[in-house]
């Protein structure tokens, strides 16, 4: 199998972390591509008609895309436990929360990089940041006990999301009002899978 990936994509990193956690790094070739919403890499477009990474090209099967689909597939291939049935809906909701933080963070980057300077909208940037903050507030208030439990896909998604915010929005202060989330994230980042997939 081959994974079309990017060095700074938080969604691609999420898949890479899963590969490490499942012991599957030798089973998937990582191919770094350069693609944007304005100029889509042809190989990415062939694998995913939406032109987004990551995309997983399977031998003898169609390509899979959207990180949630890929992670679920990899977990099934490895007979993993990242989606425990007893907490399935909580895990999926937490994964969706992490993905939404990533989506908002990427939207902020695209606004600054893809749009001409005279067409950039500060109101849009702040609206995206408000989504991030509301999600973080929910994590702090309602999800810490789950985050501190046995490893699952929700935890991986949230960790990758928070790390992406630090990577791209490090000038924004989010820690002071969320001490439990800060402590959890610092500990989770020590995992070998997170260390091995840090963006450059």
pTM for this entry:
0.96
Maximum pairwise Cα distance, the chain: 51
| pLDDT at 187 (0 to 100) | 98
User: Going by CATH, does the domain composed of 2-77 fall within 3.40.30.10?
Assistant: yes
Burial class (CB in 10 A: 0-12, 13-18, 19+), 64: buried
According to CATH, what is the number of the domain 85-193? 1.20.1050.10
| pLDDT at 120 (0 to 100) | 85
Question: Is 90 exceeded by the pLDDT of residue 186?
Answer: yes
| pLDDT at 3 (0 to 100) | 98
User: pLDDT tens-digit profile of 8-22?
Assistant: 999 999 999 999 999
| pLDDT at 36 (0 to 100) | 86
| pLDDT at 177 (0 to 100) | 94
| pLDDT at 200 (0 to 100) | 79
Q: What are phi and psi of 148, to 5 degrees?
A: -85, 0
User: pLDDT tens-digit profile of 30-72?
Assistant: 999 998 888 999 999 999 999 999 999 998 888 999 999 999 9
Burial class (CB in 10 A: 0-12, 13-18, 19+), 126: exposed
Domain ranges for the chain, please list them. 2-77, 85-193
CA distances from 70 to 13, 33, 115, 141, 177 (A): 12, 17, 30, 29, 34
User: pLDDT tens-digit profile of 102-158?
Assistant: 999 999 999 888 888 888 889 999 999 999 999 999 999 999 999 999 999 999 999
């Amino acid at each position: 199998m081959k994974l079309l990936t990017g060095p700074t994509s938080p969604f691609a990193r999420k898949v890479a972390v899963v590969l490490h956690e499942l012991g599957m790094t030798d089973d998937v070739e990582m191919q770094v591509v350069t693609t944007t919403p304005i100029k889509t890499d042809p190989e990415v477009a062939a694998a995913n008609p939406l032109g987004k990474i990551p995309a997983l090209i399977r031998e003898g099967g169609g390509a899979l895309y959207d990180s949630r689909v890929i992670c679920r597939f990899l977990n099934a291939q490895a007979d993993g436990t990242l989606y425990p049935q007893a907490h399935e809906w909580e895990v999926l909701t937490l994964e969706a929360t992490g993905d939404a933080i990533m989506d908002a963070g990427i939207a902020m980057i695209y606004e600054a990089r893809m749009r001409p300077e005279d067409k950039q909208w500060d109101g849009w940037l702040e609206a995206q940041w408000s989504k991030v903050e509301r999600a973080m507030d929910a994590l702090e208030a309602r999800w810490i006990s789950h985050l501190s439990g046995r490893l699952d896909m929700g935890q991986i998604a949230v960790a990758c999301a928070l790390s992406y915010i630090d990577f791209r929005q490090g000038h924004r202060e989010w820690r002071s009002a969320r001490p439990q989330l800060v402590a959890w994230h610092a500990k989770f980042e020590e995992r070998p899978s997170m260390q091995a997939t840090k963006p450059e």
